[in-house]
Every structure is written in C-alpha cells, then in structure tokens.
A and B are shown apart, each in its own frame.
Chain A
Amino acid sequence: MTKSHPQVRSPALRVALLCLLAGTAAWPALAVDTSAAEQLARWNTAAGAAGNAERGRVFFANQQGNDLSCASCHQAPPTRDGKHASTGRRIAPLAPAFNPLTFTETAKVDKWFRRNCKDVLTRECTPAEKSDLMAYLVSLKP
C-alpha cells in the first residue's frame, strides 16, 4: 500500500504547517465584504423605500419597550465611544464616518442588528427601521 498523503519530513516544517492549520482554524474570518452605503442600499431595497435619516435619528435615541435605546450603549449621536449599558465596556463609534470598521462585514451587521434589536425592542427590527437607521448613521459627518 502506498500512502495517499506525502509525508512531511522536516520537524520545523511540520510545526510550521501545524501552526498554519491551527491559525486558519482559530482565526475568525475577517471578511470585509460590505460598506455602510451598501447596507443602506440593501435595506432600502428590502423595505421598498428609501430610509429617512430623521426617522432613524428619533428611533435611535428613543427608549423602546425595555427602557433601553440604541443610544443607551452607542451614545446619541454615535460619533464617539459608547459604553455597554450593563458592563461598561467601551464600544467604538458606530457612525461609519467616525469608525472605518463599522458596517464592513455582512455577518457582523446581521448579528448585531439581530441581537441588539431583540434587546431594545424584544423583536427584530424591520427592513424599514434598518433603512432609517442606516440613513441616519450615514448622514453623520465630522
């Protein structure tokens, strides 16, 4: 019988390969696959209408059912560091013009919209609410 996989003879190379394998398995995918503008377009399409920045601003700042608002953690306007309402953890600015990392990963956008809307509204946000929010966030400029 011949082996189907070639053997790696050098111990150093073996260690390097193992590290590489472990590294690729452990690192979460850093996929920059979207932008705030794209997310705005995405939710505009889903809602069937353009988001309204003023409605988004009110939605963002107003307390909802759980005595929480988006601003409880993100500040209003979210152009500077926020603070997690229950743990006090620093939260980087949410407005894209103040933080180039926000809204650059679709999976992250979806994850945080899902969780945070549930915390604040005890339900997921509608596409119309998301398009308003995106319109508001994109409108914030230095």
Chain B
Amino acid sequence: MKPNFLNALTSRLGLSSRLLPALAALAGLCLLTPPVLADGGSAMPRQILPAYQQECAACHLAYPPGMLPTPSWNRIMGGLERHYGIDASLEETSLRQIGVWLQTHAGSYQRVGSEPPPQDRITRSAWFERKHRQLDPTVWKQAAVKSAANCMACHSGAEKGRFDDDELRFPAGLDARYRRYWNQD
C-alpha cells in the first residue's frame, strides 16, 4: 500500500506508480552528486588547454578557470605586462587562445558568481576566505606556505583541480604549532 499523499501526488502528476522508484532513485542521485565538482571531484575542466598549461603553469599553479568570473579573467589577460608584479606578456595567438578558454570556463566553480573579487585575486574571494577562515592568518606568511596563492602547499591534488579536505597535507617544514588546524575531523 502506498501512503495516501503519494497516491494523491501520483494521480495529480499523472504518473504511473511504477515510475515512482525510478524517480526516487533519480532524486537520490541528484542529492548525492555535488552540483559543481561533477568531474570526479575536480574543479579543472576535463581538457586543460595545452597553452594554458605551458604558459601560465610555468610560473604558478594552473588555477582552475572556474574560480574567477569572466571580468576578472579579461582584466588579467589584458594586463599581463604587469601581472601581480611580474611581466607575463604573451604573443597574440596564445593570448587570444587562452583568453577564449578562460572565458568558456569562467565562474563555474561553486559560488564564484559574476562579482570580481578585489584585485581579481582568487584568494580574496568571499568563498575562499570563508573556506579558510579557521586558519591562523599568519600561516600564509610562513616559508613553507609562501602565500595563500600557493595552493599546492596544503592541497596535494591542486594540480589536478582537487581541493577536497581528504587531500589536505601538512606542508613540509611548517612549524608544528599550526598542526592543530590540520587535525580537525
């Protein structure tokens, strides 16, 4: 026997009762699947543009393009001669190719939205600060971490776009007094 409310629902929606288990399974699947990290938990697009890897990742982590909104990427690509204090200028072909790829994937990570963070820095985004709020802010300045932009210091899967808590590591050489932030499960 089906409960009354289900009977009412199925008749109202014109659904056959045989469809119900399938629908329930589908609903369950939707709940289980994280909405954003659909690609095996990776924030990186399935195909990383080789030019992005070659040009940008020569100096820093290949940051997932979804972690900044389109206006931020456009500004960054328009000012590579003064890229956070470094000349990162590119020739026209790579500039265009990388720019298009960044635009395609911009803003797709979690709650990035369309509002550019201060200085177009991922690390100044509200969601980034929220996720790291429990850390002692002095940790960013430690030699073993270098800066908040050095994701790999703690996120061992960062190169592959994976930032799960499961893949956190305690940076080699970091003072033991920070250890407590890594042992909170």
Contact = CB atoms under 8 A, between A and B. Distances in A.
Contacts of B58: 89
5 contacts: A26-B51, A87-B59, A87-B147, A88-B146, A88-B153
Contacts, number: 43
A84 B56 CA distance: 13
Contacts of A27: 50
Contacts of A115: 86-89
A57 B59 CA distance: 24
B33 to A, nearest CB: 28
B184 interface: no
B119 interface: no
B97 to A, nearest CB: 8
B150 interface: yes
B181 interface: no
Contact of B86 (A28, A111, A119): A119
B39 to A, nearest CB: 19
A89 B59 contact: yes
Contacts of B59: 84, 87, 89
Contacts of A89: 58-61
